[in-house]
């Protein structure tokens, strides 16, 4: 190799999780798990690779053309590393459509890959909580998903001042485009794309996008007026049987009756990028001036399994990524300082003591439910052993030498208090438990 070494950094846009990073990730996904399981959601999982066709047909074009990692296997199958979970879960639901008891309340915690330029809040690999209700069309499911989101935020100590939940409806959007702008279906599609990206591009780019896509100046003017209108004003432009109006009104009155409305607001510009959304759409925004951005979002898709089957399954759900959320938690100071390390006790070792005695002591502690490490290198000086215990953050060190074995005792040391005691083998476990609790 002649002195050339490989780089030790992870692949661009991906992360290594050292134990302290992993503790953070585990802390926050286990909190999320608790909330969704209290709502009775069941966990599922799928493969990291899927057939490329799953994404080619349905996800937004940007995702397909630019952001998917895809390649051929040796059997000439075109594969993709999943960039999102919805196509996977749609496939799974379609596969057992006749056996599953609907509605399903499912969640997953999965890693996803997208080829992006890494930047704040956006990496190539991220982990995502996905939560969905499948097989239920009514707005009670939409309401449940929204209230679950508020509970999720609350579980992390996030109050209504830190974020808001902006809600709209694709049917409502389409109705407004059709009735007010007299837009044709292809035009609606173009407008939705431009509106969705508006916050990320300049005003000029936005207007050029519309003009270049055959949206007339009159329509653009109408669109500006639409954005200046209230929900009630927009409703007044639509026919009495507009399903979009009925859904939004029903949803907001339930949110009001249950007090969740203080976290929620109507926002006509919320669309979500994916083409498959058909009804309610929503997005959670960080309200802090340092991080004013979308944290995550989701919506309702009424033709979830259309790629796989003639049968129709409606679903609503969201994907909640760890990268943006971690930024949110940091900015709002919601990460506890002491996500404790695994080990509770370190067993110091002496060279002249039979090693089996340490193995036995360690096993005794494990049986008592106390996680522990033996200091493996028995020839190391005690100073070195204690330095290690300190660096690793073990609250307690136990010493067992030939004298202690003879006396049927151990010496236990409370690291923080620098206190040390000889205790009999019959009593040390109780003493230790007391120290570890306090």
User: How many Cβ atoms from other residues are within 10 Å of residue 141's Cβ?
Assistant: 22
Site for a second copy in 246-285 (CB under 8 A): 254, 257-258
- Which of 120, 225, 312, 355: binder of a second copy (CB under 8 A)? 355
Site for a second copy in 184-213 (CB under 8 A): none
Q: From the list 218, 233, 290, 377, which residue makes contact with a second copy (rule: CB under 8 A)? A: 377
Which residue's CB is nearer to a second copy, number 73 or number 203?
Answer: 73
- Characterise 418 by phi-psi region: left (phi > 0), alpha (psi -120 to 50), beta (else): left
Q: Which is nearer to a second copy, 136 or 404 (by Cβ)?
A: 136
Near a second copy in 119-178, by CB under 8 A:
125, 133, 136, 138, 140-141, 143-144, 147, 151
CA dist 8 and 82 (Å) reads 25
Q: Which is nearer to a second copy, 44 or 206 (CB)?
A: 44
- Of 51 and 294, nearer to a second copy (C-beta) is 51
CB 59 within 8 A of CB 88: no
Helix axes 355-367, 428-437, angle to 10 degrees: 60
Residue length, the chain?
Answer: 438
**Contacts for 333 with CB less than 8 Å, ≥ 6 apart:** none
Taking CB under 8 A as the criterion, the residue among 22, 184, 201, 211 binding a second copy is 22
Report the candidate in 364, 278, 368 with the shortest Cα–Cα distance to residue 317: 278
CB of 266 to a second copy, least distance (A): 20
Tell me if 382 contacts a second copy by CB under 8 A.
no
Using CB under 8 A as the binding criterion, the count of chain residues that bind a second copy stands at 99
Binder of a second copy out of 374, 397, 400, 432 (CB under 8 A): 374
Given 219, 280, 314, 372, the residue binding a second copy (CB under 8 A)? 372
Tell me whether residue 145 or residue 162 sits nearer to a second copy (CB atom). 145
- HEC per residue, 153-208: HHHCCCCCCCEEEEEEEHHHHHHHHHHHCCCCHHHHHHHHHHHHHHHHCCHHHHHH
Residue 433 touches a second copy, criterion: CB under 8 A: no
Q: Could you say whether residue 113 binds a second copy (CB under 8 A)?
A: yes
Per-residue exposure over 281-304, b if at least 16 CB sit within 10 Å of its own CB, e if not: bbbbbbeeeebeebbbbbbbbbeb
The residue (of 155 and 180) whose beta carbon lies closer to a second copy is 155
Half-sphere exposure in the Cβ direction for 229 (13 Å, CA): 17
Q: Does 29 bind a second copy (CB under 8 A)?
A: no
| 94: helix, strand or coil | helix
The single residue among 381, 383, 391, 437 that binds a second copy, judged by CB under 8 A, is 391
Residue 39 contacts a second copy per CB under 8 A? yes
Instruction: Considering only residues 321 through 350, tell me which ones interact with a second copy, judged by CB under 8 A.
Output: 341-344
Nearer to a second copy among residue 130 and residue 291 (C-beta):
130
Q: For residue 263, give both structure tokens.
A: 């976290």
User: Which residues within the stretch 55-74 sit at the binding site for a second copy (CB under 8 A)?
Assistant: 57, 69, 71, 73-74
Query: Which of these, 126, 116, 145, lies nearest to 41 by C-alpha position?
Result: 145
| CA 151/CA 220 separation, integer angstroms | 39
Interaction residues for a second copy, span 80-99 (CB under 8 A): 81, 88, 91-92, 94-96
Nearer CB in complex with a second copy: 120/360: 360
CA distance 263 to 287: 11
* Binding of residue 228 to a second copy (CB under 8 A): no
**Interaction between residue 50 and a second copy (CB under 8 A):** yes
Query: Which strand ranges, in their side-by-side order, compose the sheet holding 49-51?
Result: 49-51, 78-81, 70-72
């Amino acid at each position: 190799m002649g002195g050339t070494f490989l780089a030790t950094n992870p692949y661009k846009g991906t992360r290594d999780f050292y134990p302290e990073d992993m503790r953070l990730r585990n802390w926050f996904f286990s909190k999320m798990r608790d909330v969704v399981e209290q709502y009775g959601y069941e966990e599922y999982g799928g493969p990291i690779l899927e057939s490329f066709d799953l994404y080619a047909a349905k996800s937004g074009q940007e995702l397909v053309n630019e952001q998917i990692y895809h390649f051929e296997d040796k059997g000439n199958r075109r594969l993709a590393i999943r960039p999102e979970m919805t196509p996977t879960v749609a496939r799974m639901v379609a596969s057992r459509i006749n056996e599953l008891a609907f509605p399903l309340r499912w969640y997953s915690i999965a890693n996803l890959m997208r080829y992006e330029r890494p930047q704040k809040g956006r990496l190539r690999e991220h982990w995502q909580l996905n939560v969905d209700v499948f097989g239920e069309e009514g707005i009670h499911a939409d309401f449940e998903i929204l209230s679950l989101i508020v509970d999720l935020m609350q579980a992390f100590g996030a109050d209504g001042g830190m974020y808001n939940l902006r809600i709209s409806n694709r049917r409502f959007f389409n109705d407004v485009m059709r009735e007010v702008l007299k837009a044709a279906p292809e035009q609606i599609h173009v407008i939705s794309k431009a509106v969705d990206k508006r916050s990320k591009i300049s005003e000029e780019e936005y207007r050029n996008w519309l003009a270049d896509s055959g949206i007339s100046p009159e329509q653009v003017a109408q669109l500006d007026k639409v954005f200046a209108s209230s929900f009630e004003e927009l409703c007044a432009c639509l026919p009495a049987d507009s399903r979009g109006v009925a859904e939004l009104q029903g949803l907001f009155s339930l949110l009001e009756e249950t007090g969740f409305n203080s976290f929620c607001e109507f926002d006509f510009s919320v669309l979500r990028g994916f083409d498959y959304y058909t009804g309610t759409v929503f997005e959670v925004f960080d309200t802090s001036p340092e991080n004013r951005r979308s944290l995550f979002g989701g919506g309702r898709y009424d033709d979830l399994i259309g790629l796989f089957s003639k049968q129709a399954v409606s679903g609503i759900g969201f994907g909640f990524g760890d990268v943006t959320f971690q930024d949110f938690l940091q900015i709002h100071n919601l990460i506890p300082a002491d996500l404790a390390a695994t080990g509770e006790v370190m067993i110091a070792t002496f060279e002249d003591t039979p090693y089996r005695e340490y193995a036995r002591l360690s096993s005794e502690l494990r049986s008592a439910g106390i996680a522990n490490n033996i200091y493996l290198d028995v020839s190391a000086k005690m100073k070195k052993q204690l330095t290690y215990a300190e660096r690793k953050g073990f609250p307690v060190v136990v010493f067992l030498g030939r004298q202690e074995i003879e006396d049927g005792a151990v010496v236990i040391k409370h690291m923080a208090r620098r206190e040390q005691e000889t205790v009999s083998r019959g009593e040390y476990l109780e003493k230790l438990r007391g120290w570890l609790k306090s």
